[in-house]
């Protein structure tokens, strides 16, 4: 997953930390922000997109959602497949 300026990668922090990250990018002029997550954080990524749209910027549209499978390495080097999501929000 390439991470550019307009991407917020959702992990284990609280949901509002990522909501703030998305809102900040929009306020700095981004027309489009992509919210990405893997594994259990996928639910949180959906929360982030929904909270941003419903509470902070109701002009944002979900312009695309994609799901995929990515291969990551565990600590002992075993390959592990995890699901991933990308939600693109656009003005």
78 binds a copy of itself (CB under 8 A): no
Based on the shown chain and the rule CB under 8 A, indicate whether residue 54 belongs to the binding site for a copy of itself.
yes
CA proximity to 7, closest of 41, 45, 43? 45
**Nearest CB to a copy of itself, comparing residues 8 and 41:** 41
Q: Which of residues 7-46 bind a copy of itself (CB under 8 A)?
A: 39-43, 46
Q: Which residues pair with 35 in a beta bridge?
A: 8, 87
Q: Rule CB under 8 A: choose which of 28, 58, 59, 69 binds a copy of itself.
A: 69
CB atoms near residue 22 (< 10 Å): 27
């Amino acid at each position: 997953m390439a991470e550019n300026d307009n991407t917020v990668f959702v992990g284990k922090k609280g949901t509002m930390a990522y909501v703030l990250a998305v809102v900040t990018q929009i306020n700095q002029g981004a027309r489009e922000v992509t919210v990405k997550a893997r594994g259990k954080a996928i639910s949180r990524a959906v929360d982030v997109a929904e909270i941003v749209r419903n509470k902070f910027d109701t002009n944002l549209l979900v312009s695309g959602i994609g799901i995929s499978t990515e291969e990551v390495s565990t600590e002992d080097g075993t390959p592990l497949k995890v699901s991933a999501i990308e939600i693109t929000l656009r003005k």
